[in-house]
Structure 1
Amino acid sequence: MYRFYEITYRFRCLFLLILYFEKEILKISVYSGSFDREIGFFDRINYFKALEEKGFKSLWIANANSYDALTLVQYLSTQISSMELGTAVIPVFSKHPVELAQQILTTGLISNNKLKIGLGVSHKYRVENELGLKYVNPVLYMKEFVIILKDILNKGYSKFNGNIFNVDVSIDAEICNDLDIYLAALGPKMLGIAKKYTEGTITWMTGYKTINSNIFPVLNSTSDNRRSIVSAIPICITDDLERVTYEAKSIFKFYNNYPNYKKMIIQEGVKDPGDLAIVGDEDYAYNILQEYANSGVTEILAVVFAEDINKRINLQSRTLDFLISINNKF
């Protein structure tokens, strides 16, 4: 019996080693979150257009307490050439999957399918205290939501009887078979849904050690069903370590109030959410990003912070210069 378990263990180690060496090339993208609230709407559009001109191939936009991400993406897609656009992430508790499918199909058609969709269940506090809704069984809610959503996106109809949703509907619109859906998945149950039904996960406040030990093995447990790991990370290239480190701790400290993120912070072995920010010179940042690449991350969503906002709008940004210089180097 001992011999059997020893052989099984060795095969598992060999399998995980094979998966490790099959990890994909790291893609560098820009993420525009709620930290860009100082930028006016059309200044923001011009900034996004300038990012494409600078050479960035992908931009993700938050659906936080600001402009609607899908509407913004829809308009922006008419102003750019070929840059991919993503939402990270649309909270599902305030949506119905049929309604969201209609919005996505419309936006996807206008954007010529340059669209990626990130979905999340948000957090209990935000859903119940801010929206006045019930935050009940988020894993099952997301599973049924994604099944219905993908039915409509891929087939134009859905007939589904579940514990939460019961739908029997078809829509008269062009379907979109090749649109990528991602989930904000951190725990094993949500990662299981991401693995089975979507392209992968989008993480936030999650370090490379946790991704390597907890997320990559679950999401890519078989070599024939590989899934992407898109990781949003705060970053500032600077020589003023004391000031920017203090600013990172101040900006991101409230993420300690969200249990899902708090768990990731503890698992990473850091004391503060701000400790997950990449703060330092170009060599230091490159080495940390290499760790993310080694952990299985396929795309970095760079959250540029702690720089003068007016300089950043005009692309006078040391951080952006660094990010564009390292694209395709991992």
Structure 2
Amino acid sequence: MRVGVNVGHFTGTPPPDLAGRLRALDEAGFASVWFAEAYGSDVFTPLAYAAAHTRRVRLGTAVAQIPARTPAATAMAATTLDHLSGGRVVLGLGASGPQVSEGWHGVPYARPLARTREYVEVVRRVLARREPVSYAGEFQRLPAEGTGLGKPLKSSLHPYRADLPVHLGAEGPRNVALAAEIADGWHAMFFAPSFDGFYRDALAEGFARRPGGRPEDFEVVATVPVVLDDDVERAADRVRPELALYIGGMGARGANFHHDVFVRMGHGDAAQRVQEHYLAGRKAEAAAAIPTEVVEQVALVGPVSKVRRDLDAWAATVVDEIAVQGLPEDLDAVASALL
């Protein structure tokens, strides 16, 4: 199983000595580096920066938000970076959530799966560059109505790879199935090896709708928190605040897809307590309400020997690559433990 690093998005300021740390992970043998975006730093600028400071790793968006850009703009950024990096880009796309989509980007969130399907279709047409792009969908229309002067266009930039891989970030079973149906990979968040069968079924449903079934090169990448520490509880404490943010604060009550993941895993009572604390502003209490067993289901925490044993469970799942969440301070130790 391959191991990469998901730096995520920048909060406050970019990480110190980012260039040096990117070179270090490239030289250490990590397979990939991924960046994310929410409502601050964008995803393509740091990825271009990473392309300039690395030579080998794959460069992935995990994920580029669908409401943040037109599909043509996303395809332009991806194919330009693919040229400049020598064909190392993986384009991960995600619908985001209603708070960010509507509150930050001003784009309606209704029917995210249908929007995603149309968006991916247009991106692929732009990347393929077979003909001028026209599209008459419910959410995407090219040319758009307006002056009447718009006409279908074909990218002036020839693709470095017309089949540049497109992944979907997904958590719910219907979205996972959509990734299997229309994408080249699934980027998972809060994957738990104990629920491997659940996700295999969702993927199988999507592959059954795909002409030709499952492609040989379809891959699953999972972002996974990794904390090395001789004390398991101390390691879990470093993961709890981030989990509390997602379980409790990323979305409104009743409309938090991350929260729903933990409910499906059987941790509904704990997830509800976390959400109640977080939405009331009690962030420390929200983190403390996350049981260690919940942390251990979705993260690799504890002594190196334990992390290596736990990694065996991940290797037996549908996951092809884990992306270590965040840019580890102890990069050499993490590389030694996982690679």
TM-score range, shorter chain: 0.7 to 0.9
Match of 1:117 in 2: 91
The one of 305, 315, 319 equivalent to 2:334 is: 319
| Aligned: 1:90 with 2:48 | no
Partner of 2:191: 206
User: Is contact 1:59–1:83 with CA below 8 Å preserved after alignment?
Assistant: yes
- Cα distance in 2 for partners of 1:47, 1:173 equals 32
Aligned partners of 1:38 and 1:136: how far apart in 2? Answer: 30
Match of 2:141 in 1: 166
Deviation for aligned residue 1:51: 0.9
Letter in 1 for 2:245: F
Higher relative contact order at CA 8 Å, sep ≥6: structure 1 or structure 2? 1
- Is residue 115–residue 179 contact of structure 1 (8 Å, CA) maintained in 2? yes
CA distance in 1, matches of 2:226, 2:56: 25
User: Which residue number in structure 1 is paired with residue 114 of structure 2?
Assistant: 140
After superposition, the Cα gap between the structure-2 partners of 1:159 and 1:131, relative to the gap in structure 1 and judged at 3 Å, is closer
Paired position in structure 1 for 2:278: none
Whether 2:229 is the aligned partner of 1:238: answer yes
User: Percent of counterpart pairs with the same letter?
Assistant: 22
Q: Which amino acid is the alignment partner of residue 219 of structure 1?
A: L
Distance 1:162 1:38, change over 3 A: closer
Sort the Cα spacing of 1:254 and 1:161 in 2 relative to 1 into closer, same or farther, 3 A.
same
Q: For residues 268-309 of structure 1, give each alpha carbon's deviation from its aligned partner in whole angstroms, at most 9, with x where no partner exists.
A: 33444645222111222123222222121111011157x7x4
Give the equivalent residue in structure 1 for 2:147: none
Superposed CA RMSD in Å reads 2.3
- SS of 2:87 mapped into structure 1: coil
Q: 1:20 is matched with which residue?
A: none
Structure 2 residue aligned with 1:216: 200
Question: Aligned pair 1:297/2:307, yes or no?
Answer: no
Q: Which residue of the partner structure matches residue 251 of structure 1?
A: 242
Consecutive unaligned residues of structure 1, counting only runs of 5 or more, are: 1-25, 325-330
Q: Equivalent residue of 2:170, what SS?
A: coil
User: How far apart, CA to CA, are the structure 1 residues paired with 2:310 and 2:264?
Assistant: 17
Per-residue CA distance 1:109-139 (angstroms, 9 max, x = gap):
1111111111000111222233343212111
TM-score normalised over the length of structure 1: 0.80
What code does the residue aligned with 1:280 have?
Answer: G
Equivalent residue of 2:319, what SS? coil
1:228 to 211, 219, 226: 219
Question: Helix, strand or coil for the counterpart of 1:170?
Answer: coil
Q: Secondary structure at the match of 1:201?
A: strand
Q: Is the 8 A contact 2:62 2:92 kept in 1?
A: yes
Partners of 1:206 and 1:268 within 8 A in 2: no
| Number of the residue aligned with 1:187 | 172
- CA contact 1:200–1:219 (8 Å) conserved in 2: no
CA contact (8 A) 1:206 1:265 kept: no
Quote the residue 2:262 is aligned against.
265
CA distance in 1, matches of 2:260, 2:230: 31
1:241 Cα shift? Answer: 2.2
2-structure distance, mates of 1:232, 1:130: 24
Q: Secondary structure of 1:77's partner?
A: helix
Q: Distance in 2 between matches of 1:101 and 1:198?
A: 14
* More displaced stretch, 82-91 vs 58-67: 58-67
* Cα deviation, residue 68, structure 1: 2.5
Question: Which structure 2 residue ranges, 5 or more long, are not aligned?
Answer: 143-151, 271-289
How many equivalent residue pairs?
290
Give the letter aligned to residue 189 of structure 2.
W
CA separation of 1:182 and 1:279: change in aligned 2, threshold 3 A: same
Q: Give distance in 2, aligned partners of 1:110 and 1:37.
A: 27
* Matched residue type, 1:246: D
Corresponding letter in the other structure for 2:334: T
**Correspondence for 2:53:** 79
Alpha-carbon shift at residue 66 of structure 1 (Å): 4.3
Secondary structure in 1 matching 2:62: strand
Q: Give CA-to-partner distance per residue, 1:34-67, whole Å, 9 cap, x none.
A: 4x64774671122111111122231112223443
For 2:276, the equivalent position in structure 1 comes to none
> In structure 1, what is the Cα distance between the partners aligned to 2:13 and 2:247?
26
Partners in 1 of 2:114 and 2:57 — Cα distance?
34
